[in-house]
Amino acid sequence: MTVDALVFRRVRAVDSASDAADVDVVVERGRISRVGRDAAGDLLRAERARVIDVAGAWLLPGLVDLHVHLREPGEEYKEDLASGLSAAAAGGFSDVCCMPNTKPVNDTRAVTEMLVSKAAGLGGTRLHPIGAITVGQKGEALTEMADLREAGAVAVSDDGRCVTSSAVMRRALEYARTFDLPVVQHAEDHALTHGAQMHEGAVSSRLGLRGWPRVAEDVIVARDVLLAEATGARYHVAHVSTFGAVRILREAKARGLPVTAEATPHHLLLTDAAMLGYDTGCKVNPPLREDADVAALRAALADGTIDCIATDHATHSSLEKDCELAAASPGMVGLELCVAMLLGLVHDGVVPLGRFVDALTAAPARVVGLATPSLRAGARADLALVDPAAAPIIDPTRFRSKGRNTPFAGKKGRGRVLATLVGGRFVHEDLGGAPGKAAPRRARRSSPPRCPATRRC
Ligand SMILES: [Zn+2]
């Protein structure tokens, strides 16, 4: 039997512009063809249609991640395009942007083209490379941004390294502006973080570890905002971690500057207290901060000062993590636990659902110039189906990523990605039903949902 229509039956359909309960969303020929209450009509009994009917499910546009490290080329033992994009699909992502700190660095047309063509051949989650700002990420000579852009780069960044020279940053902003490329900064004044293992504060004193002070991030963000204002270029701050950076960004946005920012799941959920056991799994750059920073990041995500959620998915093998803290590489995986771990913020009323969806779809798409993810009729069928009531235990042994490095292992999630579609095609499916058949409709829960988000709001 050929199935040429897909019906998501009575879902809550949420995109950055709308939130509709109990609607049918129909996908035909790779696009959303109908949306509305009982819109599927006669298709529900049609031979040619597959009906997916999961009580209480949410349908979102495919998620967009501005910040992943897929390790190819050069460190395929940690991750490669196939495993990384498969992990992205399992996490609900239809589009991801990969950082250039590979070996060799993606500072040329050749590397960008290789990434684009190889990812296209895999046919799953789409890949959008981010090229380097400077040759070899050395912070000196600018890359050929015109070449990078032509080859498919959607932004430039020296992520992992900060562009610390004000002169180089100014020229980078001016040059990138010519090609309408956003400049993504890893904000860290390296002179202030030399030898740092974690956030500088009471916990680092107690553990006797050298600290990474907040101000090392804040001084760079403050300077860059001034440079963005002077040049008129688009400036994006990667993985914001401090309340000071939030304050600077809020002020910059109030003045209408073309400045955007992202926060990661781990900075939104964890503090430096997680380092108390000298856990290398919690070593990350920038480091986990304190309660006041987490509160500021959450408020900034809720009010849009922080535009996007980005995972900073950074895999390491046990070689880089099962060692003493000083020798351990910073980074955590994020793609396959982002939705499960962060939906708690929605369920607990910290971040409105619409803002949460915007931060994972339209906002990041806007930063790098992708088409706005949407559930309107006519839109490309890039979709993520989510069960907001699921409570999965995070089990890294089941990750599609090669990385297992996460402090969330064994923690209970507050939602699950059931399926991901790219252009109307399943790239991930965990529906519990046989492929090609309708998944069984589960009984509606009789007890009232405990979170405001699962009520129809
Ligand atoms: Zn970074």
**Which residues sit with Cβ closer than 5 angstroms to ligand 1, an ion?**
159, 186, 238
Q: How far is the CA of 429 from the centre of ligand 1 (A)?
A: 31
Separation between Cα atoms, residue 364 and residue 343, nearest integer Å: 18
Beta-ladder partners of 387: 416
Separation between Cα atoms, residue 94 and residue 127, nearest integer Å: 9
Amino acid making up residue 265:
P
Q: How far is the CA of 239 from the centre of ligand 1 (A)?
A: 7
E strands in 116-180: 126-131, 155-157
Instruction: Check whether the bond before 73 is cis (ω within 30° of 0).
Output: yes
The helix (H) or strand (E) run that includes residue 222 is helix 215-231
Q: What is the DSSP string of 239-263?
A: S---HHHHHHHHHHHHTT-SEEEEE
Cα 388 versus chain centre, distance: 18
> In this structure, what are the phi and psi dihedrals at residue 100, rounded to the nearest 5 degrees?
-90, 5
Q: How far is the CA of 386 from the centre of ligand 1 (A)?
A: 28
Closest CA to 313 of 84, 83, 154, 61: 84
Query: Mind telling me the catalytic residues?
Result: 312
Q: How far is the CA of 248 from the centre of ligand 1 (A)?
A: 19
Reading the block at residue 221, the tokens are: 């963000």
pLDDT of residue 1: 57
Q: How far is the CA of 285 from the centre of ligand 1 (A)?
A: 6
Q: How far is the CA of 237 from the centre of ligand 1 (A)?
A: 9
pLDDT of residue 278: 86
Q: What HEC string does 265-313 produce?
A: HHHHHCCHHHHHHCCHHHCCCCCCCCHHHHHHHHHHHHHCCCCEECCCE
pLDDT of residue 360: 98
Q: How far is the CA of 284 from the centre of ligand 1 (A)?
A: 9
Separation between Cα atoms, residue 102 and residue 389, nearest integer Å: 38
Average pLDDT of adjacent 10-residue blocks, the chain of 457 residues? 87 97 97 96 92 96 97 92 97 98 96 97 97 98 98 97 98 97 98 96 95 98 98 98 98 97 98 91 94 98 98 88 84 95 97 98 98 97 97 94 92 97 96 49 38 35
Q: What HEC string does 321-377 produce?
A: HCCCHHHCCCCECCCCCHHHHHHHHHHCCCCCHHHHHHHHCHHHHHHHCCCCCCCCC
- What is the pTM (predicted TM-score) of this model? 0.93
**Residue 113, CA distances (Å) to 88, 105, 147, 160, 331 in order:** 20, 13, 10, 22, 26
Report which DSSP code applies to 43: G
Residue that has been written with the tokens 């890294």 in this structure: 396
